[in-house]
Structure 1
Amino acid sequence: MAVAALIVWLLTALGGSTMLGLWLARGGMRAPVDAPPTRLPVPVLFGHLALAVIGLVLWIVYMVSDATALAWISLIVLLVIAALGFAMLARWLPAHRAAAHGGAAPAEPGPPEQAIPLPVVVVHGLFAVVTIILVLIAAIVS
């Protein structure tokens, strides 16, 4: 179960890296002057990223050491990561809806998060849920 959780966690990280890359490429940290600023709070975004990396490292250390406490700590970290992810999702949805309904004129760029496609967000979220479930199961059985 721990290996399955690691694999799904890595796939979740791949989706998150894709979204971060698209956001940065669109000017997430420094949007062009003529574009609206990002709606994603930068501290929340990078807090989500930092905790995801820390949690993943804790999970790998748990797998190597078989210290049950690390499995539970990883789960708690995952829950905080998920809360930050939901906060960003709530801020991303209006930008996605505006882009989907033609909210900005074609000549006007939208906020950087409009570059993040819905399927990537959905798959990232689904993999995150599966990761949490697998980590919980692994923590219970360890």
Structure 2
Amino acid sequence: MDITALITWVVTALGGFYLLGAWLRRGGIRRQQHGTSRLPAPVLFGHFVLAAAGLVVWILYVVTDASALAWTAFGLLLPVALLGFVMLARWIPVHRAHATVGAAAAAAGPGAEGTVPAERHFPVPVVVAHGLLAVATLVLVLLTALGIGGS
């Protein structure tokens, strides 16, 4: 189960990298400074850093089979999940307003795109897959740390 958790964690991270890249490419930091991004950079980057640190700890656990590392990785995943839910809650209104904002930006002409949050461009399938895989990873890591399913 530890390898399954590792695989889901890596695939989840790939989705997260894609979303982070999309946010940065669309000017997420710049738009946040102008008040148009709904994802606070400290939350986004905190989510990223804690998830990456947890993944490193999980890899060390897979190599060493040290129970303390499994629990440390799980402990790191808890704030990652909390920050992920915060970002999801802040992204949902942006997604719902997508059609309205998109039509208004098109009517406003060139340059209006700068008033649209960068996260509006997140593909829904990637957001959904990232979230579902993150939940699966959290459950698999917990079950492994509890010693359920072998390691």
Range of TM-score over shorter length: over 0.9
How many positions carry a matched residue from both structures?
Answer: 140
Structure 1 vs Structure 2 CA RMSD = 1.7
Q: TM-score, normalised by structure 1?
A: 0.92
C-alpha displacement at 1:79, in angstroms? 1.2
C-alpha displacement at 1:119, in angstroms? 1.0
In 2, Cα distance between the equivalents of 1:39 and 1:30?
A: 12
C-alpha displacement at 1:32, in angstroms? 9.7
Report the equivalent of 1:131: 137
User: Secondary structure of 2:15's partner?
Assistant: helix
Within a 5 Å distance, the mapping from 1:1-142 to structure 2 comes to 1-31=1-31, 37-99=36-98, 101-104=99-102, 105=104, 106=106, 107=109, 108-109=112-113, 110-141=116-147
User: Secondary structure of 2:28's partner?
Assistant: coil
Q: In 1, are the aligned partners of 2:32 and 2:40 still within 8 Å (CA)?
A: no
Structure 1 residues 127 and 91: CA distance shift in structure 2, 3 A: same
Q: In 1, are the aligned partners of 2:16 and 2:130 still within 8 Å (CA)?
A: yes
Which letter does structure 1 place at the counterpart of 2:100?
G
Q: Which runs of 5+ in 1 are unaligned?
A: none
In 2, Cα distance between the equivalents of 1:43 and 1:103?
A: 25
C-alpha displacement at 1:120, in angstroms? 0.8
Q: Which has the higher helix share?
A: 2
Q: TM-score, normalised by structure 2?
A: 0.87
Q: In 1, are the aligned partners of 2:2 and 2:141 still within 8 Å (CA)?
A: yes
Q: Percent identity?
A: 54
Rg comparison, structure with higher value: 2
In 2, Cα distance between the equivalents of 1:124 and 1:140?
A: 24
In 2, Cα distance between the equivalents of 1:86 and 1:137?
A: 21
Deviations 1:23-54 (A, max 9, x none): 11110111399x86211010000000000000
Which letter does structure 2 place at the counterpart of 1:67?
A
Larger CA deviation: 20-29 vs 102-111:
102-111
